[in-house]
Amino acid sequence: MPELPEVETVVCDLRPLLVGRHLGSVRVSKQRLRRPWSKSWAALLDGRRVEAVARQGKWIVLALDETVRLVFHLGMTGQLRVVSAAEPVAKHTHLVIDLDGGQEQLRFRDVRRFGSATVFPDGPALARFLKQSGLGPEPLDLDAATWRQKLGRTDRCLKAVLLDQRVVAGVGNIYADESLFEARLHPARKASGLSAAEVGRLGRAVATVLRRAIERRGSTIRDYVGASGQRGGYQDEFRVYKRTGQSCPRCDTPIEAVRLAGRSTHYCPNCQRRQ
Return d(Cα 21, Cα 91) in angstroms, integer.
Answer: 26
**Does 263 qualify as catalytic in the annotation?**
yes
Return d(Cα 114, Cα 27) in angstroms, integer.
Answer: 19
Active-site residue (options: 3, 6, 104, 182): 3
Active-site residue (options: 55, 58, 150, 189): 58
**Does 2 qualify as catalytic in the annotation?**
yes
Active-site residue (options: 2, 5, 139, 187): 2
Q: Determine the residue type at 103.
A: Q
Active-site residue (options: 112, 216, 242, 263): 263
List of E strands, the chain:
23-28, 50-56, 59-64, 69-73, 78-84, 93-99, 104-110, 116-120, 256-260, 263-267
The answer to whether 85 and 4 are in contact (CB under 8 A) is no
**Does 58 qualify as catalytic in the annotation?**
yes
Strand partners, 254: 247
Q: Determine the residue type at 268.
A: C
Q: What order do you get walking across the sheet with 78-84 strand by strand? A: 23-28, 93-99, 104-110, 78-84
- Residues known to be catalytic: 2-3, 58, 263
